[in-house]
Amino acid sequence: MMHFAKEHDIFELSKEQYLLINYVSGAADIIDNSCKIALEKGDYKLLDKNIIDELISRKYLFSSIQEYEQYLFELDKKLLSVEKTQMPNFLLIPSYNCNFECSYCYQKSYQIEKFYGNKDYSKNIVDAMFAAMDKIIENTGNQENKDFIKVTLMGGEPLFSHNDDILPFIFEKLKDKKYKVSVITNGYELDNYIPFLRKLNIDFIQITMDGTKEIHDTKRFNNKHVGTFDVIMKNVKKALEAGLNVEIRNNVDADNILNLPAFAYALSDLKNDFPNLLHPYIYILQDGGCSGNKTIINEVESLETVLALEKIYPNLNIFRKTFHGIDLINSIVNNTPFKPKMSNCAACRNQYILDGHGNIYKCWFGVGNDKFKIGNYISDLKICDVADTAWKKRNIINLKKCIQCKYRYICGGGCANRATIDPDTGIRREKCADYKKIMGIYFNHLFVENRNEEIICK
Ligand code: SF4
Ligand code: SF4
């Protein structure tokens, strides 16, 4: 007997047209009312043979439940094997020092002490860091993609003059290894480091800006409590002129969501001058850090607000949106292959974060917090297998609720960090997003409000 895969949703486009979405294959198709009724009732006799064939080829329908289960079994096996053999990616934290005192700093909320460590051992630390990375790479089964190791520098603030005794060694090693490098920086001292960065294989520089000067300067000030907008904008321009890819991360909360059109306008000249190098994006703040949760907006509400604003201010389209499920939506809109997920993020795969104290972590929001530490590397590489495995096993085939969830291949089980710090859950529990509502809102925006039917039927 034919089987209709449960990993789907049907959204109404009009009284006669519905959007059928497949959360495993990433297919999106417009169906009519009679097809919808036949599928919902499981009465496939009502469907023409060519429609059945089409639904089978697009993995909505299977000739039997066994065939459907086998398809998912093979998919899970493949995804697991890809994740297991994936080359590791690394984040390096030269120090936790920062030249900013942002109002919402998550690192402050973990009470990371300012570390002005013993500078004599900086070079030894860098040697140990890279030796540990070599070992982790060696321990990864598949060595074929060794040339594509990605390393991200973060902090604290990595591009900070206080780190100057350690940074040249790090830059030198990154250059020798030919690793693909990204830097997460506040951008305040970026100009001093552009000559060094240009010599590396730079992927992108990520800089956080929280809106126009009036807003940004109330949230992101330096440690003398002086606003930082003008200096950052000047440095962004210098980086773009040097040919570096710059991602502007706009942390959005209740304080600045309505500032988005003005911020888009403020960035428009730079975007026009450097269309392929400047990549602004919206990140909805999801934890309050030391500012608490008072300004956090729920994801569904913020998505509705952003899309409503974009209708009035089309210039908002310069921002990439980073809501849950956006990868599937982008694959539909851009007609690119959809990649189903086994886990939520790199922290649940082969990601390792090494700080300047010799500690190793999995998740960048957990750095400096012992609860998230999984090992150290000072005298020799020591990774606690139990802790590493707890992260690596956090996936949609091991999380009880996820096994049955129709959104699992677009979700991956949710953020492990948020699950871990939530006293009601823990790392072995799922952390859900409201996919049904998010998808409904986004598809309504794309296909009802904007009538983009031509992009359907990938
Ligand atoms: S576990 Fe959560 S906070 Fe940590 S890297 Fe993954 S998505 Fe980000
Ligand atoms: S975390 Fe929640 S939404 Fe995500 S796959 Fe698991 S049960 Fe589904």
In this predicted model, what pLDDT tens digit does every residue of 37-85 receive, in sequence order?
A: 999 999 999 999 999 999 999 999 999 999 999 999 999 999 999 988 8
pLDDT band of residue 291 (cuts 50, 70, 90) is very low
pLDDT band of residue 229 (cuts 50, 70, 90) is very high
Domain 94-323 has CATH 1.20.1440.230: no
325 lines ligand 2 (CB under 6 A): no
- Our CA dihedral for 189, 190, 195, 201, rounded to 10 degrees, sits at 140
405 lines ligand 2 (CB under 6 A): yes
pLDDT at 425: 79
How much is the CA Rg of the chain, to the nearest whole Å? 24
Ligand number, closest to the Cα atom of 402: 2
pLDDT at 177: 94
pLDDT at 288: 47
How many angstroms separate the alpha carbon of residue 457 from the centre of ligand 1?
Answer: 33
Taking the domains of the chain in order of start, what are their residue ranges? Answer: 3-80, 94-323
CA distance 283 to 253: 9
Ligand number, closest to the Cα atom of 106: 1
> pTM for the whole thing?
0.91
pLDDT in tens, 158-211: 999 988 988 999 999 999 999 999 999 999 999 999 999 999 999 999 999 999
First to last CA, the chain: 27
pLDDT in tens, 329-342: 999 999 999 999 99
The dihedrals phi and psi of 331, each to the nearest 5 degrees, come to: -65, -35
Amino acid 59 reads K
pLDDT in tens, 301-315: 999 999 999 999 999
Of the candidates 402, 429, 437, 332, which has an alpha carbon nearest to the alpha carbon of residue 7?
Answer: 402
pLDDT band of residue 112 (cuts 50, 70, 90) is low
* 456 against 181, higher pLDDT: 181
438 lines ligand 2 (CB under 6 A): no
CA distance 291 to 178: 39
* Angle in degrees, 0-180, between the axes of helices 229-241 and 260-273, rounded to the nearest 10: 30
310-347: b or e for each residue (b if 16 or more CB lie within 10 Å)? beeeebbebbbbebbbbbbbebbbeeeebebbbbbbbb
| Pocket-forming residues, ligand 1, beta carbon under 6 Å | 344-345, 347, 363-365, 415-417
* 206 against 366, higher pLDDT: 206
Lowest mean pLDDT among 121-135, 141-155, 398-412: 141-155
Amino acid 13 reads L
How many angstroms separate the alpha carbon of residue 60 from the centre of ligand 1?
Answer: 31
Atom of ligand 2 at shortest range from CA of 411: 4
pLDDT at 113 over 50: no
Name the residue of 397, 411, 417 whose CB sits within 8 Å of the most ligand 2 atoms, as the mutation to test its pocket: 411
How many angstroms separate the alpha carbon of residue 415 from the centre of ligand 2?
Answer: 10
pLDDT at 152: 98
